[in-house]
Structure 1
Amino acid sequence: MKTYYVYILKCKDGTYYTGMTNNLERRLNEHNSGLNKECYTFNRRPVELVFHESFMDVNQAIFFEKKIKKWSKAKKEAIINGNWNELKTLSECQNNSHSKNFNQDNE
């Protein structure tokens, strides 16, 4: 059975790239060698692997990759730093009109 990896790379410009592969070492080398001029990381090399999670089910890996790609930089940095509990706080709506934050001053 194959293992699939969802990974986050930190690019030299400070941005993050999220991807999925079944060979983490090979894929990191591909990003750093610049094989694909159309790839997001091509002009942002070198890149550094800062996070990876393994999956035995390709569908779970695809789901997790798509989820992370939509996350803010702060949420990505929370999992990079192993602060999984911080994700809950970062996921909460901070809008003043949200019922949790609503007070009489908003009326």
Structure 2
Amino acid sequence: MAGEPLVLVVEDEPAQREVLAYNIKAEGYQVITAEAGDEALVLVRETPPDVIVLDWMLPHVSGIEVCRQLKMGVDTARIPVIMLSARSEETDKIRGLETGA
């Protein structure tokens, strides 16, 4: 499995996290998962992923705050972040994009 891009999936709902991880693995990627924002920040520092799939609404540290912290970090600013959200308001989309997702 060496050489395959690594994807970090951050999702607090177990069923959703499982489906995302399964589908991403099926496309040939390595996957690690986290269920909370603070856990995700630790994982990124321990094993920097090639891309992050990040839920907006997480316990402890929100996805938007995780994204903000990652984009401020010298070693993590360039990691692409795909934000998942049930939010559909235009202002929420803009906020996510402005944060770096």
Q: TM-score, normalised by structure 2?
A: 0.30
Q: TM-score, normalised by structure 1?
A: 0.29
